[in-house]
Amino acid sequence: MAFELPKVTLTLREAPSRLRTFLGPILAFGIAMLLGGLLVALMGKSPWQALDVYFIHPLLDSYNLQALALKASPLVLMAIGLSYCYRANLWNIGAEGQFVIGGTCAGAIAIFTHGAPDNTLWILPAMLLAGVMGGMVTALIPAILKVSLGVSEILTSLMLVYVSQLTLDYLVRGPWRDPKGFNFPVTVTFDPAATLPPLFDGARVHVGVLLTLAIVIIAAIMQGRSLFNFAVRLLGLAPRAARFAGFSEARITLIVFALSGGLAGLAGFMEVSGQINQLQPSISPGYGFTAIIVAFLGRLSPVGILVAGFVLSLTYIGGEAAQISMQLPLDMTQTFQGLLLFCILSADILTRYDVSLAKART
Amino acid sequence: MSGTTRRGLIQNSAILGLSLATSGVALAADPLKVAFVYVGPVGDFGYSYQHDLGRKALQAAMGDKVVTSFLENVPESDSERVFEQLARAGNGLIFGTSFGFMEPMLKVAKRYPKVMFEHATGYKRAPNLSTYSAKFHEGRYVIGQIAAKMSKTGTIGYIAAFPIPEVISGINAFMLGAQSINPEIKVKIVWANVWFDPGKEADAAKVLLSQGCDIITQHTDSAAPLQVVEKAGMHGFGQSSDMSRFAPKAILSSIVDNWGGYYIARTKAVMDGSWKSTDTWGGMDADMVRMGPFMNMPDDVKAMADATSAAIKAGKLNPFKGPVVKQDGTVVAKAGEAVADKDILGMNWYVKGIDGKVPG
Amino acid sequence: MTSEFVQAVLLTILTSSIPLILAAIGELVAERAGVLNLGVEGMMICGAVSAFIGAYDTGSALIGAACGILAGALLAAVFGLLAIYLAVNQVAAGLALTIFGLGISGLIGKSYVGLKLTNASHLHLPWLSDIPYVGQILFGEDYFVYAAFALVLGVWLWLNKTHAGLQLRAVGDNHTSANTLGLDVQAIRLWAVLFGGGCAGLAGAYLTLAYTPFWSPGMTAGRGWIALALVVFASWQPWRLVLGALIFGGATILQLQAQALGVRIPSQLLSSVPYLATILALILLSVSKRGKANAPASLGQAFIADK
């Protein structure tokens, strides 16, 4: 090599200090804010006002908190599922597709029961089931290919995202189009029987948000206690040891993919039933990809994911407020999200490892 | 598909205060807050860009009596919250410019009865939700005539986005205009299945040129097809905005969306209390559709284009006047009649003379 | 069908596959070194906007292309610092890079929207445009076409015929033993990632300088993701990558050609061909032994040296 690059050595800390674990993300957040503020200032706007609009104002009233919960719910659900995959060192990056197929399958039931007579209490549970199954089957395709043929799950799951989106696109523009919809690419609007009711009268959030919360709590309680969780972690950290301990790698792979696909499908169901109330060519503004980021920001732990889901939703909602009241472009929000991720991801490493710089070997 | 288009920003707009928490219509003394929601980037130099020009015209005309703001690149599936946020931020009038905003706007309008909503290209209304659209097909009739006059091969290329009524009625009006000059004219239609992907639109233009088309018209948003015809020494038309700067030698004209007048009128109506829920479908007569400059054509063609535009503007010429016959020979409008508005707004068939089928 | 028509079709396919080839060949090198960078789309769009600004402000397409390469490499450097030196998860860092790239490109390109490059013909090669039939549609894009093929040839030679190429593959196949052999895993990976970023930036530059010479936010329209698929489809082999890009580009063009000829195929089915083909290729690769040998074994895994 023409000139020497410094050599960086990472050493895993025996036990990450509590102080570092706590301060790391906060410091990272601070640095990202500083960089973001600098950008805002460069654009000739007040960074203080931006701080207020992005991060403080959205937290001040019940409406905004509900909007936050609605936005965070699908992200958190999917990230919880993905965290099982990632802890097992399996790279499911196709949650977006699993979400879309889940929503499509749930929507199918709503469309085909459209205008059905009363006594339709079974419709919502059936939609939920269809959504979960749809997501699960989509996720199992890369899992089965991985287990049986050793095909890289990273790329198959990513490719299936596009196939899923195009499937929905085809259905909505073709066979499932609302016959009375002037040829526009949307399905019929769902009946009340196929719509998730609001949490309380006049609420913006639907009851699905409670289900999300329940799943977070269950996942948090299970964490570190169940044999399954242990097996997943062991597979991720030391596959050989996992096999030696008698855990089937194939079975764990299938289970974690089914789990994450099922949760993504559940999120898809909630989105079409509780929010959109019909199918349209696109039912997700990229939730499945954002969920990957949420999973990592939350360090693959259920509570961490809950927090990360809210922080990321806050940047979206704050970003909209900044567009409305400060004329800060959407690009600013995205740039900031990127910066925030860079900072938090590096901080995470710095808390877990000791970093030392040395001259490269000569 | 979502996630594939991004934005950009025109910076010099008014700076608003932070009164996010106030809701309802502003007091008479305060400026009226008017908000716009775009599905695409204002930097598309096409559809969303033209709406934003309308917003700027409104701001310029009303001065400090209104404050305008906008949100760009709002995904349709995630737009309900955006409209609600705008209603809560004290906007008295909110425009949503994409068909996909229909259900979200309907829901939010019910929750905020004191805020007026205006939805472009939709068909569901409420006491505080109007719909508006433009008769883009009137412009298509004019460029159909120009294309038929200018084409040497007698084959015209047509790049279309999605088979929705607005696009299909555009194709039909174009064909009727072209047939009025040359009954033997052929049109080759290519569906790009995107509103905005410069690369793919350019590919579509190249494909059409290779198949013997010497004039390309487009119902997609970027200027890429025009740049292709400019290089190839052929001719084309601009979409949504005057795109002559992208292809000064190739462009024949553009169909320009002009929303400023409508936005100003509706804002004034809210201010003086005369706003009612309506369905507006304006064309050249209402100045919602304009023709860009007629360029790169002989004087006689230019004179014809001017005359046709003037006739449409004066209400003397309806592009969908009878006889209009479907591909299978069904008569939709007899001589002396015209195709009904509701049939144009839900159009899913081709007129006779177009080969191929409407997809979907 | 006349030969003129066939030639025109082939040329359209060729030019539409150039951005895919450029971005994919860079990603191929990074992946051969064991680094999966999902930020191709972000690097590409930054390359596109920087190239446009460079070319617009200086009037030189060459400087524009250089700006594009530099911008792509700059973003790749950020990714490299995180994913290689700090061992941040590559999937997460790559996705973050794409988000960041899409945002920052909009910010810096804001005042260049709606402007047109008048100097795209700077890349015009006189003797090529004299060839009958070819010149008409292919003006100006020629340098990039040649650059793309030169890059593919160069990468193929370098990977397979040079010592440094062997080292890079060793790092990608087993970073632990490569380290034991005394290779600087991190440095080699960083260079590979920078190369990948430069190529993605050049692919973006091709879009704004030659293919559709104007800047518009989001104009890469997912080509970066297709480039990622392409690398796998090609089973990490440079020449197969060219074939794959022609097939991917060809699928779009032929679908448009078929439409204009009046043949109707559901567009969604055709649009999903590249993705289904990639899955199929992956399956075939894992069944055949040779294919398996090509896949970099350490792909996606961070290297953390033991003390």
Over residues A55-98, the pLDDT tens digits come to: 888 888 888 899 999 999 999 999 999 999 998 888 898 999 99
pLDDT band for C128, please (50, 70, 90 cuts).
low
3-class SS at A36?
helix
Q: Within a domain: residue B46?
A: yes
CA distance A92 to A158: 8
Tokens found for residue B237: 């038309």
Give the model's pLDDT for residue B119. 96
Give the model's pLDDT for residue B70. 93
User: To probe the interface with B, which of C123, C256, C268, C272 has the most B CB atoms within 10 Å?
Assistant: C256
CA distance B10 to B18: 21
Task: From B110, B134, B158, give the residue that closes a domain.
Answer: B134
Q: Within a domain: residue A220?
A: yes
Mean per-residue pLDDT, C208-217? 88
Every domain of chain C and the residues it spans: 3-294
Contacts of B82 in chain A (CB under 8 A): 320
Residues B47 and B165 in one domain: no
Chain C segment 257-286 residues within 8 A of A by beta carbon are 266, 268-269, 271-272, 275-276, 278-279, 282-283, 285-286
Of A63, A169, A280, the CB nearest to B100: A280
Q: Does A276 touch chain B (CB under 8 A)?
A: yes
Beta-carbon-side half-sphere exposure of residue C206 (alpha carbons within 13 Å): 27
CB contact under 8 A, B222 and C260: no
Mean per-residue pLDDT, C233-248? 88
Residues B301 and B219 in one domain: yes
Helix/strand/coil (H/E/C) assignment for every residue in A56-73: HHHHCCHHHHHHHHHHHH
Give the model's pLDDT for residue A360. 47
C267-274 long-range contacts (CB < 8 A, ≥24 apart) are: C267/B191, C267/B193, C267/B359, C268/A166, C268/A167, C268/A169, C268/A170, C268/A173, C268/B193, C269/A166, C269/A170, C271/A162, C271/A166, C271/B193, C272/A162, C272/A163, C272/A166, C272/A167, C274/C226, C274/C229, C274/C230, C274/C233, C274/C247, C274/C248
Give the model's pLDDT for residue B22. 38
pLDDT band for C52, please (50, 70, 90 cuts).
very high
Q: Within a domain: residue B298?
A: yes
User: To probe the interface with A, which of B15, B23, B81 has the most A CB atoms within 10 Å?
Assistant: B81
Alpha-carbon gap: A353 to the closest alpha carbon of chain B (Å): 35
pLDDT band for C254, please (50, 70, 90 cuts).
confident
pLDDT band for B149, please (50, 70, 90 cuts).
very high
User: To probe the interface with C, which of B13, B45, B159, B206 has the most C CB atoms within 10 Å?
Assistant: B206
Give the model's pLDDT for residue C132. 55
Residues B36 and B181 in one domain: no
Mean per-residue pLDDT, B94-108? 93
Contacts of A60 in chain B (CB under 8 A): 21
Mean per-residue pLDDT, C19-31? 96
Say whether pLDDT at C139 is over 60. Answer: no
Q: Does C307 touch chain A (CB under 8 A)?
A: yes
Of C213, C216, C253, the CB nearest to B203: C253
CB contact under 8 A, A327 and B15: yes
CB contact under 8 A, A324 and B8: no
Tokens found for residue C242: 């060219």
Give me the phi and psi of C179, to 5 degrees please.
-65, -40
- Which one-letter DSSP state was computed for residue B351? B
Residues B156 and B220 in one domain: yes
Is-cis flag, bond preceding A125, omega within 30?
no
Contacts of A336 in chain C (CB under 8 A): 103
Contacts of A286 in chain B (CB under 8 A): 2-3
Boundaries of domain holding A176 = 76-298
The neighbours of chain B, by the rule of 3 or more Cβ pairs under 8 Å, are: A, C
CA distance A330 to A341: 17
Of B3, B198, B232, the CB nearest to C219: B198
Give the model's pLDDT for residue B19. 34
pLDDT band for B25, please (50, 70, 90 cuts).
very low
Q: By CA distance, what is B193's nearest residue in C?
A: C267
Boundaries of domain holding B45 = 32-134
CATH annotation of C3-294? 1.10.3470
Element (H, E) at B220: none
Reported in sequence order, the residue ranges of chain A that DSSP labels E, i.e. its strands, are: 7-12, 353-358
Say whether pLDDT at B57 is over 50. Answer: yes
CA distance B337 to B174: 19
- Asked whether B207 and B218 are in contact (CB, 8 A), the reply is no
Give the model's pLDDT for residue C33. 93
Q: Within a domain: residue B351?
A: no
CB contact under 8 A, C106 and B8: yes
Specify the higher pLDDT residue, B215 or C234: B215
Exposure b/e, B274-301, CB count within 10 A at least 16 = b = ebeeeebebbbebebbbbbebbbbeeeb
Of A275, A281, A324, the CB nearest to B85: A324
The neighbours of chain C, by the rule of 3 or more Cβ pairs under 8 Å, are: A, B
- Name the pTM for this structure: 0.86
- Asked whether A207 and A273 are in contact (CB, 8 A), the reply is no
Give the model's pLDDT for residue B133. 93
Q: Does C87 touch chain A (CB under 8 A)?
A: yes
- Which one-letter DSSP state was computed for residue B251? E
DSSP-assigned states of every residue in C207-242: IIIIIS-B--TTTTTTHHHHHHHHHHHTTT-HHHHH
Q: Within a domain: residue A33?
A: no
- Asked whether B35 and B68 are in contact (CB, 8 A), the reply is yes
Task: Say how many domains are in chain A.
Answer: 1
Q: Within a domain: residue B53?
A: yes
Give the model's pLDDT for residue B14. 30
CA distance C9 to B211: 9
Of B60, B103, B107, nearest in space to B263 by CA? B60
Q: Does A164 touch chain B (CB under 8 A)?
A: no
Task: Say how many domains are in chain B.
Answer: 2
- Asked whether A115 and A330 are in contact (CB, 8 A), the reply is no
Contacts of C18 in chain B (CB under 8 A): none
Q: By CA distance, what is A288's nearest residue in B?
A: B3
Measured CA distances, B343 to B5, B324, B325 (Å): 32, 12, 13
- Asked whether B131 and B280 are in contact (CB, 8 A), the reply is yes
DSSP-assigned states of every residue in C269-285: HHHTHHHHHHHHHHHHH
- Type of residue numbered A297: L
Which stretches of chain A score pLDDT less than 70? 1-7, 12-17, 118-119, 357-362
Of A93, A150, A337, the CB nearest to C99: A337
CA distance A153 to A155: 6
Chain A segment 298-357 residues within 8 A of B by beta carbon are 317, 320-321, 323-327, 329-331
Give the model's pLDDT for residue C121. 47
Exposure b/e, C224-242, CB count within 10 A at least 16 = b = bbbbbbbbbbbbbbbebbb
Q: Within a domain: residue B283?
A: no
Chain C segment 2-31 residues within 8 A of B by beta carbon are 5, 8-9, 12, 16, 19
Q: By CA distance, what is C19's nearest residue in B?
A: B199
Alpha-carbon gap: A313 to the closest alpha carbon of chain B (Å): 12
Residue range B318-360, pLDDT digits in tens: 999 989 999 989 999 988 889 998 889 889 899 999 988 887 6
Q: Within a domain: residue A119?
A: yes
- Asked whether A336 and A36 are in contact (CB, 8 A), the reply is yes
DSSP-assigned states of every residue in B78-103: G-HHHHHHHHHTT-SEEEE-SGGGHH
DSSP H helical ranges for B10-97 = 47-62, 80-88
Round the average pLDDT of chain C to a whole number and report it: 84
Alpha-carbon gap: C147 to the closest alpha carbon of chain B (Å): 19
Contacts of A163 in chain C (CB under 8 A): 272, 275-276
Q: By CA distance, what is B348's nearest residue in A?
A: A183
Contacts of C214 in chain B (CB under 8 A): 198, 223-224, 227, 246
Q: Does C289 touch chain A (CB under 8 A)?
A: no
- Whichever domain contains B327, its CATH number is 3.40.50.2300
Say whether pLDDT at C138 is over 80. Answer: no
Say whether pLDDT at C120 is over 60. Answer: no
CA distance B100 to B81: 14
pLDDT band for B21, please (50, 70, 90 cuts).
very low
CB contact under 8 A, C213 and B222: no
Task: From B134, B149, B169, give the residue that closes a domain.
Answer: B134
Task: From B134, B158, B185, give the residue that closes a domain.
Answer: B134
